[in-house]
């Protein structure tokens, strides 16, 4: 247990032990720029003398219950011989049917499918835990708005307006973490660094994509908002984007970034340049 706590503490996480018999040993919270984040990762710790042990055992009921959680649960195996930690995200796919056999008291988890718990893995857990938390929050806010007809006759009701504002703020905070937006005077604006470092790559890839499928390049602000979000998740090596999260992020980028006339002018210039470059490469290949 001490080894696992140390691994996360050294990466700046808040680590709390859980003194209960419900399967969780540790509760972990990442820290960003000195602020403790709201998302959590829960850990059950096991240990083996060496990898020759091949597997660890987890209680069936714990595994079953974890499938319903909107927060990440990981099983961590400490290998005493090599002094290393391995982990497995046990509720990544949220499939309770896998662990519904009441005749079984426990399930075995092969060590060979576990990943090394190093700095890279911990940073990825930070990204994923934030994503899972915000996706769950945005999904609940969206459901509240829809259930209360917040996009129709009740769109001006105070609690509906509060839910809409909360959705925007959550999406903006997440987009700021991704580097797409920046904080400006208690508000949010497009990040100049993101535009300078990423936009041409997004534009060029979009031109190539549309050429390959023989489709005209869309000019709509929503298209470019979707391309920006797709780029961010591909860059960060994330899993498939959950619908509620994607919907909220794309709409927020559309409002804050891609509807802006200056942005449209920049994209138009980049599209023209990308097309010229592609024509030049094609000509060079033919003549070469």
pTM recorded for the entire structure: 0.76
Q: Which CATH number fits domain 2-117: 3.40.1350.10, 2.60.40.10, 3.20.80.10, 3.20.20.150?
A: 3.40.1350.10
**pLDDT tens, residue by residue, 21-46:** 678 999 999 998 788 999 999 999 99
Question: In 10 A of CB 109, how many CB atoms?
Answer: 18
**In the chain, % of residues over pLDDT 70:** 97
Q: Judging by DSSP bridges, how do beta strands 55-59 and 106-110 pair with one another? A: antiparallel
What are residue 15's phi and psi, to 5 degrees? -120, 125
**pLDDT tens, residue by residue, 2-14:** 899 999 999 999 9
Residues constituting the chain:
288
Give the mean model confidence (pLDDT) for residues 170-179.
Answer: 89
- The average confidence (pLDDT) of the chain is 90
**In the chain, % of residues over pLDDT 90:** 65
Ranges for all domains in the chain classified under CATH 3.40.1350.10: 2-117
How does DSSP classify residue 130? Answer: H
Q: 131: Cβ–Cβ under 8 A, 6 or more apart, which residues? A: 174, 238, 245
Please give the distance of CA 281 from its chain centroid, rounded to a whole number: 36
List the single range of 53-57, 135-139, 282-286 with lowest mean pLDDT. Answer: 282-286
């Amino acid at each position: 247990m001490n080894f696992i706590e140390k691994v996360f503490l050294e990466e700046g996480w808040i680590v709390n032990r859980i003194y209960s018999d419900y399967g969780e040993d540790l509760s972990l919270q990442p820290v960003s720029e000195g602020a403790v984040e709201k998302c959590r990762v829960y850990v059950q710790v096991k240990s083996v003398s060496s990898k020759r042990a091949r597997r660890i055992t987890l209680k069936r009921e714990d595994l079953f219950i974890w499938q319903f959680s909107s927060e990440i649960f990981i099983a961590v195996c400490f290998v005493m011989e090599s002094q290393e930690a391995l982990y497995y995200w046990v509720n990544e796919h949220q499939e309770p049917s896998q662990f519904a056999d009441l005749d079984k008291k426990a399930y075995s988890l092969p060590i060979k499918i576990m990943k090394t718990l190093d700095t890279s893995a911990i940073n990825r857990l930070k990204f994923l835990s934030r994503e899972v938390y915000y996706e769950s929050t945005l999904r609940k806010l969206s459901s509240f708005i829809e259930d209360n007809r917040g996009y129709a006759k009740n769109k001006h009701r105070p609690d509906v307006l509060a839910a809409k504002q909360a959705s925007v703020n959550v999406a903006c905070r997440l987009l700021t973490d991704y580097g797409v937006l920046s904080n400006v005077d208690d508000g949010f604006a497009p990040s100049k660094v993101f535009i300078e470092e990423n936009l041409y790559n997004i534009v060029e890839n979009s031109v190539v994509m549309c050429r390959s499928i023989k489709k005209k390049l869309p000019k709509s602000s929503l298209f470019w908002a979707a391309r920006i979000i797709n780029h961010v998740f591909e860059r960060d090596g994330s899993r498939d984007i959950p619908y509620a999260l994607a919907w909220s992020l794309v709409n927020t980028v559309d409002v804050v970034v891609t509807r802006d006339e200056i942005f449209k002018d920049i994209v138009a210039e980049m599209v023209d340049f990308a097309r010229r470059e592609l024509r030049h490469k094609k000509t060079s290949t033919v003549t070469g």
